[in-house]
Amino acid sequence: MRGRKAWAAAGGAAALVLTATTGAHAEGRGDIRVVKTVVNRGGNVIVGTSKTIRYPIDITVRDNSGVKGLTHVSTFNRANAYSFATWNGDSSCARRSATTSVCRATMTIDPRWIADSDDIDTNRVAGVWQVDATVRAKDGDYWISDRIAEYKVKRAVQLTTVIAPKAVAKGAKVSVGGKLARADWEDLKYHGFTGQRVRLQFKKKGAAHYSTVRTVTSGSAGKLTTKVTVTSAGSWRWYFPGTTTTSLKVSAGDTLGLK
């Protein structure tokens, strides 16, 4: 097992736990139930190579006696059961009625932890994750729930646009280049992402929106390149729609003028 002991010594109170994948089920005592779960306010969780990510899991709980809180929350990849997200046990519950509360657990991902979450390739931990939780009521009822929500944890992307030259006569051709790179959780660096369909978009000077002009496949080392005929001044950019395991990304626009 690569680096697992070294990581545990350096990681302080945080710990990685390999959780067995189970079918969706729930068990417990009494009438307490989870009625809704929202992860990261409904958005994907995007993880890069250095920035620590914190995101909420909001669990709506109902019991006739009122809700006491959360006693366990875990989240992990649905397919292989690996995880690098931790919960420190703190939570807060906002009372919505006499019987219903929304309880929040905040998860933390530090990219420095990721390499020890999988003994083969940590990048395969990206994808669809699930949430399990145990909730308790004021009268002692409890409920252990598996797969109360699913969401996606994705590898972050970098995307650039470069135009040369910056100004040409109307009708001339210019090269629009760039690079698509994806976070590698093994070495915590960005590497070129090849073989991906990326949209080239243009916004005419004074216009409000970009429109797709063509689609280009990223080449070696994630390189993007194409030639376009200039009909007006404006801004060019690349748009990558993302995948199940990789985030959507839009580059900054690069402006092209007319001589």
Q: How many CB atoms lie within 10 A of CB 212?
A: 10
Reported as a pLDDT band with limits 50, 70 and 90, residue 26 is confident
Examine the domain organization and report whether 144 and 182 are in the same domain: no
Reported as a pLDDT band with limits 50, 70 and 90, residue 20 is very low
Range of the domain at 239: 157-258
pTM of the model: 0.87
- Name the domain boundary from 134, 154, 174: 154
- Name the domain boundary from 121, 154, 187: 154
Q: Output the pLDDT for position 118.
A: 75
Residues 6+ apart with CB under 8 A from 25: 146
- Name the domain boundary from 108, 123, 154: 154
CATH of the domain at 71: 2.70.50
Examine the domain organization and report whether 119 and 62 are in the same domain: yes
Helices marked H in the chain — which ranges? 4-10, 111-114
Report how far residue 257's alpha carbon sits from residue 259's, in angstroms, rounded to the nearest whole number.
7
Report how far residue 221's alpha carbon sits from residue 234's, in angstroms, rounded to the nearest whole number.
28
For 152-177, the pLDDT digits (tens) are 999 999 999 999 888 899 999 999 99
Examine the domain organization and report whether 93 and 105 are in the same domain: yes
Mean pLDDT of the chain: 90
Report how far residue 192's alpha carbon sits from residue 185's, in angstroms, rounded to the nearest whole number.
14
Q: What would the mean pLDDT of 139-150 be, rounded to a whole number?
A: 96
Q: Output the pLDDT for position 8.
A: 27
Query: Could you give the number of structural domains in the chain?
Result: 2
Q: Output the pLDDT for position 195.
A: 98
